[in-house]
Amino acid sequence: MFELAMTAPQALVEPVSEALMDELEALSVSVEDADADTEAEHALFGEPGMPPPRAGWDRSVIKALFADELLAQQALTLLLAQDWTTGLHPQGLTEMAEQDWVRLTQSQFAPVPVTEQFWIVPTWHEVPAGATRVMRLDPGLAFGTGTHPTTRMCLRWIAAHAQPWPRVLDYGCGSGILAIGAALHGAQVIDAVDIDPAAVESSRANAVANGVALNAGLPDAAQGVYPLVLANILATPLKLLAPLLCAHLAPGGHLVLAGILARQADELRAAYAPWLALEVSDEDDGWILMTGQRA
Ligand SMILES: C[S@@+](CC[C@H](N)C(=O)[O-])C[C@H]1O[C@@H](n2cnc3c(N)ncnc32)[C@H](O)[C@@H]1O
């Protein structure tokens, strides 16, 4: 691709941009301040509540992207031949390096170790040596890729307490990462709920991709009591949800809460005190994991 750069007075910015896009086959057009970072630079916007001092920059750089060099040159020739483009000056034609955006995005997500054996691995990565339990998960619309300390602490707890839990509730499931983690560690029947329909969809898709069965749905899908309830949300909703989450805890059931900052431990302890004693059982980067068992 080729980028054609031209300086233009304010009056030409709009008609030249329109001609580039509508008639001259530009793929995109951007406009920058030609005087940026120089003494001639002027603020474009006024103080809050005041009108802008002017409608645009004194001189702008118009940059237009073309599929090939010939199209870019033809566009420039045609523009300069117009009687209305006086003041338009070509600055250069530059070949742009192709950027592989997919690869660039993917490179930012590496496999995440939860324990030595249990890893969260994006689908485009090889499974690391030594990973014997693997969740395949790609970043998507819903929260939960394994990179956040709150998610990692919950997963560590799940791995450390692996057993065939007969029922598990993942409340605020996001991508379904905790529910899938529980399934990979032996849990039998898992309800994963979220107020966000996109999270419900994402949990379903991720469960299928990992070959595990989940009942993903909106919060109403949580029914009855569970020997294990997981909720990684935030301190304020967790306090409001205390009666509901505890009502879903079976006698002797375990509650695992995350999304709580270290300084919020006492508030959470107080909110859950009518049902159980919460304790801090893990800490990661300022976040804590609070767990408790119902009598
Ligand atoms: C921090 S994310 C956690 C996602 C995933 N469980 C994890 O551990 O990575 C919190 C999720 O809780 C959901 N959520 C927030 N408030 C909720 C509520 N009152 N009831 C159910 N889900 C809620 C959000 O939509 C979000 O998907």
Domains annotated on the chain, with CATH:
2-98 (3.30.70.120), 142-293 (3.40.50.150)
Give the relative orientation of helices 10-22 and 69-80 as an angle to the nearest 10 degrees: 130
Distance in Å, CA 143 to ligand 1 centroid = 8
Are 167 and 189 spatial neighbours (Cβ–Cβ below 8 Å)?
A: yes
pLDDT (tens digit per residue) in 249-258: 999 999 999 9
Q: Is 154 helix (H, G, I), strand (E, B) or coil?
A: helix
Which two tokens mark 199? 């999270």
Are 248 and 257 spatial neighbours (Cβ–Cβ below 8 Å)?
A: no
Q: Spell out where the chain has E strands.
A: 2-9, 28-33, 59-66, 89-95, 112-113, 118-121, 133-136, 167-171, 189-193, 215-217, 226-232, 249-261, 279-284, 287-293
With a cut of 90, say whether residue 167 has pLDDT above it. yes
Distance in Å, CA 174 to ligand 1 centroid = 5
Are 259 and 230 spatial neighbours (Cβ–Cβ below 8 Å)?
A: no
Give me the phi and psi of 149, to 5 degrees please.
Answer: -55, -35
In this prediction, residue 41 carries a pLDDT of: 56
How much is the average pLDDT of 75-99?
Answer: 92
With a cut of 90, say whether residue 222 has pLDDT above it. yes
83-114: burial string, b at 16+ Cβ within 10 Å, e else: eebeebeeeeeeeeeeeeeeeeebeebebbbb
Q: Which atom of ligand 1 is nearest to the CA of 150?
A: 8
In this prediction, residue 102 carries a pLDDT of: 67
Residue whose CA is at the smallest distance from ligand 1 atom 14: 172
Sign of the torsion formed by the C-alpha atoms of 257, 263, 265 and 270? negative
Distance in Å, CA 199 to ligand 1 centroid = 8
Torsion of CA 240, 245, 247, 248, to 10 degrees: 160
Return the H-helix or E-strand segment holding 196. none
The whole-model pTM stands at 0.71
The binding-site residues of ligand 1, defined as CB within 6 angstroms of any ligand atom, are 142-144, 151, 154, 171-174, 177-178, 194-196, 199, 219, 232-233, 237, 259
ipTM of model = 0.99
What's the mean pLDDT when you consider all of the chain?
91
Are 292 and 238 spatial neighbours (Cβ–Cβ below 8 Å)?
A: no
Torsion of CA 9, 13, 15, 21, to 10 degrees: 140
Which residues, in sequence order, are CB contacts of 143 under 8 Å at separation 6+? Answer: 151, 174, 175, 199
